[in-house]
Structure 1
Amino acid sequence: MGFRFRGGTVSYNLGVDLGTTFVTAARADTTTVGMFTLGDRSVVIPAAVYLRDDGTLATGQATGSLAVSSPDRVGRGFMSRLGDAMPVILGGAPYPVTALLSGLLQDLVQKVTKIQGEPPDRVVLTHPARWGPFRRALFDEAAHQAGLENPRLVTEPEAAAAYYAASRQLGDGETIAVYDLGGGTFDATVLRQQPGGVQIVGKPERIERLGGSDFDEAILSYVNDTVGGSLTELDTRHPQTLVALAGLRQGCVLAKEALSADTETTFPVFLPGRRFDVHLARSDFEDMVRGSIESTIRTLSRTLQSAQVEPADLRAVLLVGGSSRIPLVARMVSAELGCCTVVDTHPQHVVALGAATLASHASPPQHDRPQHDRRQRYGRQHHRGHASRGTTAPIPTATVNAVLDARPQQRDAQPPIPAQRPADVIPTQRTPPQEARAAAARTALGGGAGPDAATMQTSALMAKSRPAHPRPTVDTPLPDTRHVGPNGGRPRRFALTDRERVLIGTGAAVALAGIIVLAIFGGRNDTQTWPPSGSTRPSTSAPTAVAAVGPELATPALGVPVQVGRTPSFVAVSPDGGHAYIANGDARVITVGDTAIDQVAATIPIAAGPPQFLTFTPDGRTLYVTIFNDQGTINVIDVLDTASNAVIATIPQPARPLHPTVTPRKP
């Protein structure tokens, strides 16, 4: 591969891992792959934004100190909320998740560009493997809003496998598993090496709200128990208390990290009018997190079963994510699966390094345009220049931090993972949404015969059949339609992007649904109106194909809203479908709704604390309620009798309880 020199600077490629709690970025240049220093002597920055008084967003390490005085102006963990219709509330104002992501990405790329003196040639962004086309399209839109014209999107395990394969050659057919335990989530994925690259096999699984942040809360709860519950007595209305608690949380993080290398640690605790030291042994910390790690291993085992892969058939299990440095993780995974585990010195950097490696092995971008276009591309939001286009290449086998492999790649090679699309298949002109909807409507009416019409009709049917919550899918490759490139160049593959598929499919589905509704209700109304523009009313003796839709269908409708409290956060429906139980965290109550009459049937006070997650037993007679608070001082599970709607038992927990699973009793 040829690297260019522009004005004394070496061209480079950028890989970005935008996680739930932290953001990392790596660069690949002529000879090396390494991390960027994004913060003050740190290569990671919080995945958070802060709303300033002037309405602009601040990102990076500054958000941590600003959050102490104005926690309502800080947004965290929004990467996992992408696709959620509810906006993020900052300072009382709603912000779409895509706007927050684009702001974070824009600041990161501008900082990297300032350090390097030039924008990157190519950018690879990573995302969870469970994301479907809908979330990927939203992520792509956020990148475009940040000024990235043609970023390549790859899954996090694909990037991790690229980093692994850069120093250890994978043979065709060999299988690896990626165990990704980050700051706020856990992901398990199985990948297999194929002639064209790695491919995800089976069904990736993800656990939300389980990671390093939960382990920090467990240490905070330990500190509270050590001082006899003094933390719960603090008045959080005073700024001095908030500053003290923020310092204590940071001390818990440092203690967790210290126990990855040492068997014990001691850290100071400063509270208003009080100062003391807390001693924590690694064995005590491992007892706090053992249950959570066991749940991650069960999730990994289910992923292996879905891929029909035995643990003995694995080449290795890659331990990725900052929390994978905990020694107990490697011991438990190895003991449970009986196979080799591989953990890097800095596992939180692996995904970004792999993304940069993949970016460096794409085809070189075109540089026949003025240099100022490239600078303006990252200058400000919504100003988009002409982005470079690359092709997907097999994962390299050269050593990291050494000269990268420059083997020529096959021009028509398919992407390693079918669910992703390389940057070079983006069409040069995007179809406006209005034109897409009009074309979809013509297709539904039977007009516009031809290949394009048939493709849109298929997209409409596929979009209509998707569930409300996207599931992991593998996109079917589009027909290999080719066209001649600019200036009579070589033919390139032409395909629709995920975002265009969503727009076209949605437009077609809306048009088709509208036609069906008109046909149903129009056939029952003698005063129906027919389209103008010279259209003639069809004969009643010869019904059209659109009118022949079979028996009358029920039209779904939104009923009258039911007030269930100010802070509903989780709902569980009883096994018989008769009642819905809604957790109201701030109000510390559970609201019971009768689904037959759509009214509130009961309100159950939860004295132990704010209810979070609800799980029924299979017979519906018992409801388990997990209870915890943000301070980490409350960690219990209430047992609720659904016949009397009364709490019959409270079970203390060593750390924050998550969503429990109830298994049937064995006979």
Structure 2
Amino acid sequence: MSNEYVIGIDLGTTYSCLAYINEDGDPVVEKNFEQEDTTPSVILFNENGEIIVGSPAKDMAIMYPLERVVTAIKRQIGTDYEVDIDGDKYTPVTLSAAILRKMINDFNDNHGVEVKRAVITCPAYFGQNERDATKTAGKVAGLEEVTIINEPTAAAIAFGFGAGGGEKKRVMIYDLGGGTFDVTILDINGNAFTAVATDGERLLGGKDWDQVLIKLIKQKVCEENGIDGSELEDDDDVKQALILDSETIKKRLSSAESTKGTLTVGGKKAVYTITRAEFEAATAPLMQTTIEIIGRVLAAKNFTMKDIDDLILVGGSSRMPQVKNGISKKYPEANVRVFDPDQSIAKGAAIFSKSHNWVGADEVAAAVAAGKTIVPKEGEITVHNVLSKSFGIKAQYDDGKEMISNIIFRNKVLPIVQTKTYYPIEDGQTSIKVEIFENSASDNDEGKRIELIDGYSVGEFEMDLPVGVNRSTPITVKFVATDEGILVAHVDCMSQHAEYQLQNKLQMSDSEIKDSQGLMEKVTTGN
């Protein structure tokens, strides 16, 4: 076994990518067994009990029932989604682990090693549950140590390492992937990368452009071939074909003004034509949403586009001409650059992994809470992300209404330590229940009450109160958020103290992880 290689992985909705640092110190994307730079995030369960991942799964998908093919699992990460295949239950964690396992197996076989550490990327706006689930997927895949880094930050690291040339500058990363969308502003200063503001949309990406295109293809097939729409809706083979064809047609329209396609309906071939103009008109609302999110990120820090040195497009879907054209139309002053859209995130994760100080999360949380700084090694890349969500507790106000009282806010640079004082509801109260809520309130909302319905409960714990407390006895709640966004709550009331580290409600036990690792033996390697 060797830890010589520490890898970076972009675990994507439609495609995933693995990179490492070669002997010359350069980030290199590892080709998978199929000799591809990126691996389709497609999982197929065949009739022999094997789990097939990547291009073979994608190529064979049309020959299998829809329920035996899983795509876009990243959109389900952190949820209770589940599929039952031949009596075995698979969650977003185990399905994501299967994709990771395939890529790691290919790397290990090619280099004759067994890597145990990796940096895995995730969207900047991912909350606690999604980050924990991604980390657990890495462990199920066989990794012993996993660090999570935001995708836009990884892209910025790759840019700073290469095209950025180490200059001091402020960049905006526009990351339009297959199923997720992020906009993040970062300040780059040598080896230091500091996020300033971030925003995004969990369910927005190339898959949504594909869905619009599928509707357009159906319309064209019917109009140009005299086919009734019901024939397309009732044919599972047509549905599978459309999923594959929409991606192909979309890629063609990125380099051509129009393209033709064929679809077999009822045993007959139907030919259709789609123009780029038609596609862009149909998907204009999606593009407009990304433009609006750019505006929100700028407004969060009272910036204009003139405050941004480079607007960097990453993510495979950013290749679509309408992206650069749409941004340039709205912000003609922007210096828009397409930068290695498919590989920059994985390369940035690899660069970060090479210099990363692999310190345990508990040690980091304790150091932050104590106000101590873990000093970076010489030449080490330092990353300061912003908190992607706001966190607070449920509090009862004087009018009796229960609301969220936020303690730390999104778009604040990590690590964060913030304390707020509360009071018992009644004299002689014997205990309190601390319920922690995640929400999207901005730092401009500081002091405002947030409705419980506008938040998401992410954890709770109880603490006994000392004898003799009254409504004037202060209860201090301190939230500590580490560089990775790991949240620890400290509560003090007179002599009483309690600590609670926020954990994913769907978090797997060690025995569950071990059992899931057994399922990974079904992942084929092609060797």
> TM-score of the superposition, structure 2-length normalised?
0.66
**Which of 10, 23, 34 pairs up with 1:17?**
10
Higher strand share: 2
Number of aligned residue pairs: 400
1:352 aligns with 2:346: yes
The 2-side partners of 1:300 and 1:273 are apart by: 46
**Which of 393, 397, 416 pairs up with 2:383?**
416
Give the equivalent residue in structure 2 for 1:340: 335
**1:143-292 matched pairs, under 5 angstroms:** 143-167=138-162, 168-172=164-168, 174-194=169-189, 197-202=192-197, 204-228=198-222, 230=227, 232-234=229-231, 241-292=235-286
8 Å Cα contact 2:313/2:337 also seen in 1: yes
**Which of 106, 113, 121 pairs up with 1:126?**
121
Shift in CA distance, 163/154, structure 1 to aligned 2, threshold 3 Å? same
Q: Identity across aligned pairs (percent)?
A: 22
The 2-side partners of 1:39 and 1:217 are apart by: 30
The 2-side partners of 1:469 and 1:89 are apart by: 29
8 Å Cα contact 1:74/1:90 also seen in 2: no
**Which of 12, 19, 22 pairs up with 1:29?**
22
Shift in CA distance, 118/194, structure 1 to aligned 2, threshold 3 Å? same
Find the residue that maps to 1:347 and give its secondary structure.
coil
**Which of 462, 467, 474 pairs up with 1:544?**
467
**Which of 67, 72, 79 pairs up with 2:67?**
72
1:510 aligns with 2:461: yes
1:111 aligns with 2:111: no
Letter in 1 for 2:200: R
Give the equivalent residue in structure 1 for 2:294: 300
Higher RCO (Cα < 8 Å, 6 or more apart): 2
Give the equivalent residue in structure 2 for 1:142: 137
Letter in 2 for 1:234: E
8 Å Cα contact 1:26/1:353 also seen in 2: yes
Letter in 2 for 1:467: F
Shift in CA distance, 134/265, structure 1 to aligned 2, threshold 3 Å? closer
8 Å Cα contact 1:12/1:30 also seen in 2: no
Letter in 2 for 1:191: L
Find the residue that maps to 1:270 and give its secondary structure.
strand
Find the residue that maps to 1:137 and give its secondary structure.
helix
Find the residue that maps to 2:434 and give its secondary structure.
helix
The 1-side partners of 2:135 and 2:214 are apart by: 38
Letter in 2 for 1:169: G
Q: CA deviation at 1:75?
A: 3.0
8 Å Cα contact 2:166/2:191 also seen in 1: no
Render the CA deviation track for 1:284-332: whole Å, top value 9, x for unaligned: 2222222211110111110111132210111111111111111121111
Find the residue that maps to 1:360 and give its secondary structure.
helix
Give the equivalent residue in structure 1 for 2:436: 466
**1:408-487 matched pairs, under 5 angstroms:** 410=377, 415-418=382-385, 464=434, 466-468=436-438
Q: Structure 1 unaligned runs (5+)? A: 1-5, 366-385, 390-407, 421-454, 474-504, 517-542, 552-667
Shift in CA distance, 470/305, structure 1 to aligned 2, threshold 3 Å? closer
Q: CA deviation at 1:43?
A: 2.4
Q: CA deviation at 1:419?
A: 5.9
Shift in CA distance, 81/224, structure 1 to aligned 2, threshold 3 Å? closer
**Which of 294, 298, 308 pairs up with 1:314?**
308
